[in-house]
Structure formats: C-alpha cells, structure tokens
Chains A and B, each alone.
Chain A
Amino acid sequence: MKANSKKSRVSKSRLVEWFQAYTFLAPALLISLVFFVVSILFSLYLSFNNVNLYASTYSFTGIENYARMFTDGRAAIALKNTATFSAVVVPAQTIAALMVAFVLASDKLKGRKMFRLIYFLPTLTSSSALTLIFMFIFNVYGPVNELLLNVGLLSEPINFLQNPEYSLKVIMVMNVWSTVPMFMTIYLASLVDLPKSLYEAAEIDGASSWEKLLYITVPYLRPITTYVVLMGIIGTFQMFDQAYIFSNGSGGPANSTLTVALMIYQYAFGQMNSMGYASALAIMLALIIFVVSLVAEKVNNRNS
C-alpha cells in the first residue's frame, strides 16, 4: 500500500516534468516545424514543379528544373564566380586570421585590448553598411584610386565598381577583410590553452618565431582550422548581401558579381518568376556545400 502510493506520486511528478518539457519546447518545435521541416519538404516539392507565383499554380514537371541547370549559361557563370570567390577567400581569411591571432597571443604584447577592439570593428558592422563604405572608397574619385595615383602605381584611375575584371576582386577583399576578425578571435580563444612548455622547449632548441608558428601553433590548431575552413566554405558559398548591394541586384557588370545565392534570388523573386527552378538551384547549392565541406574536412585531416 505504502509502496503503491509512492509509485503513483513518482509517476505524477514525471508527468509534470513531461508537461514542463513540452511547454518549454513547444514554441521552438512549432517554429522549426513550420519554417524548417515543412519548408524543406515544400522546397523539394517546388523543385519538381513549374510555379506561377501570380496565379498560384503548380504543375509537375519531373526533373526538368534539375536538367535545366546544365544548359543554363548563367548557372555556370554563377557557379564559377562562387567557386572562384570561395577558393580565394577561404584560404586568405584562414591564413590571415591564424597569423594575426599568433601575433596577438604573444604574452609580451602590450595594448592587446585596444588592438582587439579595432580588429573587431568589421565584424560588428552590417554587410549593408560595409558594402557601401567599400563602394565609396573604391569608386573612381575615391581614396583608393587617389592613393594609388599619388604613389605612382597608377597613371589613370580604375573604375573598380564598373569594370568586370575588378568588381568580384573588390568583393573578395571586402569579404576577407570583414571575416578575418571573427576567425582570428576563434583562433585566439584556443591559443590561450596552448601549453607554454611547448614553446619553451622549442626556444631551447633554438627555434625562430616562424618555426614555432609552423611546427607548434599550426599543428596544435588543426581542429580549429577545420572548423574555420568549414565556416568559411559555408559563408562564401552563400554570399549574397555584398554581391546584391554592389550590383544593385543585377549581378553585373557583365555577370561578374553573379553568385549562386544572388541567382537563386533573381530566379525566385525577379521578373523571371521561376520559383520551381530557383528551388532546384537552392537544393543543388545545399548539396554542393555539403560535398565541398566533406572533402575539405577529409583533406585537412589527412594533412596532419
């Protein structure tokens, strides 16, 4: 009898616990169900349909949307731009972040807090404001042109914004510049845990700073590097804001800033009104990001 009443009390408190758990999780579950799970399924469904947004009609077209990518010249350009962008930006931001973190982590350094505050500024700034600031400093009458002219590196100003040869490069510079601080801080956070004895032992063997960086710091940070590279790949393959603002949504000049994410946006919400195709492109982008990340992780781990 006694045991029985105790048992029922336990199960009652367990029910209260279940109730609390599901009350606490309900909003998160509902939102992730509607805006993630249902959305993913919806996206898959759309990708096999021809969608007319204005008439709200869907017609099943099988794999037509997926087949269309391979004959779409713009898709090829966008993929090439995005891959080039990623191939330049990811190594540049990773190496720069690691080097600056290495110097900043030196315990002889004074004024570390001030350097950190300055370095973190680009991370705090919205891509919307940053892109405008970069467009300003790179415009024909802007300070960068003026600087290069005064130093004698240029005899005539370069129209960085409207010349297809330079526009993507300007976005690359801007992207590296604005992402290094975050990755640097991630490196810095783990460098704090690097045992000092490793450096001391190397110093006794007469290792230079460069050798310490190469043979101690870099191998020690390998897991963090994997994380940084993966974040870099995910970020660069989804680059949208900067290309959109830079080209006013066109991907120009001459498709030079057309990224995959920008193209998806154009097909879905521009004049083309082809949401089905845009959905197929988005799913393909997700697959590409997944595969590239997997390969990068394998390569980085094998190099050790």
Chain B
Amino acid sequence: MKKNKLPIIHIIMYTVLIIYAFFTLYPFLWAVAASFKPFREIVGGDLSLLPNEFTTANYEYIFGRSSLFSRWFLNSVIVSVVGTTINIFLNTMAGYALARLNFPGKYRIYYGFLALIMVPAQVLLIPNYLILRNLGMLDSFTALILPAAINLGNIFMMRQFFMNFPVDVEEAAAIDGLGRFQTFFRIVMPLAKPSISTQAIFVFMGFWNEFMKPMLYLSSPQKFTLTLGLQTFQGQDGGVRWDYTMAASVITIIPIVILYIIFNKYFLQGVRMDGEK
C-alpha cells in the first residue's frame, strides 16, 4: 500500500515544481532569446525560442560608442558599491552601539528607529526631494546615496546580531590594550562578517535595482543608472526597441545572479532573520 502511494506523490511533487520552474524561466528565456535576434525577427510574428538568424549585434550596439549604456553600467556600479560600503559601516556601528553600549537616551533612539521603519516611502518622497533640491544635490549620485546611507531595518538586524555576541571578545581585546574604537574596527567587525555579508547583499541589490529615485533625482543622461537607462531604448516611431531593450535587461540581471550564486547562503540567512522577527 505504502509502496504504491509514494511514487504518485513524487510525480505530483515534481510536476508542480517543474511547472512552476517553467513559469519562472519562461520570461527570462524569451528575454535572452530576443536579445540574440534581429529586430525584424522579433516583431515579425514568427516566434520560435531559438533565433532563426543568430546575431550579437544588439549587444554590440548597446556597448557601442553611440550608446551611453557602458556609462550607465559604470554609474550603477559606483552608486551601488559606494552606497553599500557606507551602509555597512553606519548600520553596523549604529547596531553595535544600540546593542552593546550604555548611554543616556539609548532606548528612546531604539524605539524611534523602530517607529520610523513603518513610514511609507511616499510620505518621504516629496520632502526628501525638496531638501535635496535646497542642498543643491539634485542630479548627483549624492542624492541617491545620502538619504539611503543608512538602512533602519539593517540597523535593527545588526543590533539583534550583537545582542548575542560573546562579551569575552571585547574583554580580551581590552586586556591586550586595544582602545574601544580599535576593538570595534579590528576585532568586532571582522567577527561580524556573516551578518555584514547578508546586509551587504540586500543593500547592494536595493541600490542596483532602485528605479524611482534615479528617475526623480537624475536629469543628465550621462548620470543615469542602469534601471533608468533601460527605459530609453525607443525607436523613432516611439515604439520600444525590444532588441536593444532585451539585451540591456539581460546585462543588468547578470551581476546580481552572479552575486546570488556566490553568496547563496547569506541570502537565505537574511530571509531567516526577517522571517523570525
């Protein structure tokens, strides 16, 4: 009886998973396929997944001289790397202070941060824009990085991490004659690497994929990030140049997928911490 039952469950199980995997991959497969097709084949109606006429011209075009795409790619790298680096230090320092140090106003600050997490982005959008405008920061990378230089959710996550951090590490460092600041940067931060990696990945992904802020703050095309630049491949008739757009989309996805494969375990950790809150 039981022997008969198991394979059926197995078949159902794998069928569900494979169908779902198909639905997930389908749009990506088409995007990749279209990126290697000439434009007339894409809009021609004859649709097979494999290109009839294989071409790398779309990629040559977007990376070519007449296109700003390489510039946008570089901009995205700069904003994401700088933004993530600053976030790592500021979030970890703030989380550490809230977990390990005693000072007046500690709990007021902690609950204040918690309350601010709940404020929706739309409420901050207009005043942030006006403040950045008054500071003369519009149309600069600073506008993208400065308001996002801290992440309240990650400060909260780092606090949770340091709450369970062994005290003897700091005590040993103090006996060795290290000052408080040295202890933090030379001993504590390296030991917090797994947690820091997790926040780094999610922060990087946030900067890399951000769309609304670049659209609102950046006006010169040379300063666009990838997400914004992607939207500009229009034909002369106003229609979308699917060939260029799909090639460009594929390129924007690749760096994150590589990061995901390398740092797979940190992705799962991040989700666990979120889920167990």
Contact = CB atoms under 8 A, between A and B. Distances in A.
B209 A126 contact: yes
A115 B25 CA distance: 11
A120 B21 contact: no
A43 B124 CA distance: 7
A128 B227 contact: yes
B150 A31 contact: yes
Contacts of B205: 124
Given A27-B149, A103-B16, A43 B126 contact: yes
Interface string B2-19: 000010011011001100
Contacts of A89: none
B228 interface: yes
Contact of B211 (A100, A126, A289): A126
A130 B93 CA distance: 35
B104 interface: yes
A25 B212 contact: no
A172 interface: no
A129 B17 CA distance: 25
B236 interface: no
Contacts of A245: 211, 231
B167 interface: no
Given A17-B102, A36-B124, A24 B150 contact: no
B47 A146 contact: yes
A224 interface: yes
A22 B211 CA distance: 33
B68 interface: no
Interface string B161-178: 000000000000000000
B195 interface: no
Nearest to A264: B122
A104 B277 contact: no
Q: Is the interface of A mostly helix, strand, loop or mixed?
A: helix
B120 A190 contact: no
A128 B253 contact: no
A182 interface: yes
A43 B123 contact: yes
B261 A117 contact: yes
Contact of A28 (B150, B226, B252): B150
A227 interface: yes
Nearest to A106: B13
Contacts of B91: 28
A128 B45 contact: no
Contact of A133 (B27, B43, B120): B27
Nearest to B257: A124
Interface stretch (A4-12, A64-72, A134-142): A134-142
B124 A121 contact: no
Contact of B257 (A39, A121, A265, A285): A121
Given A18-B103, A24-B93, A35-B147, A136 B242 contact: yes
A134 B246 CA distance: 11
Given A16-B180, A103-B16, A190-B275, A241 B211 contact: yes
A21 B103 contact: yes
Nearest to B23: A177
Interface in B234-262: 240, 242, 245-246, 249, 252-253, 256-257, 260-261
A21 B106 contact: yes
Interface string A65-91: 000000000000000000000000000
Interface string B262-277: 0010011001101111
Which 5 residue pairs are nearest across A and B when measured between Cβ atoms?
A126-B209, A128-B227, A39-B127, A42-B127, A24-B93
13 contacts: A18-B104, A22-B97, A24-B96, A32-B112, A40-B119, A121-B28, A125-B256, A141-B43, A141-B47, A142-B47, A237-B120, A238-B121, A264-B122
Given A126-B210, A177-B27, A282-B125, 5 more contacts: A42-B131, A124-B253, A128-B230, A132-B231, A132-B240
Interface of A: 14, 16-18, 20-22, 24-25, 27-29, 31-32, 34-40, 42-43, 46, 99-100, 103-104, 106, 108-109, 115, 117-122, 124-130, 132-137, 139, 141-143, 146, 177, 181-182, 185-187, 189-190, 209, 224, 227, 234, 237-238, 240-241, 244-245, 260-261, 264-265, 268-269, 275, 278-279, 282-283, 285-286, 289-290
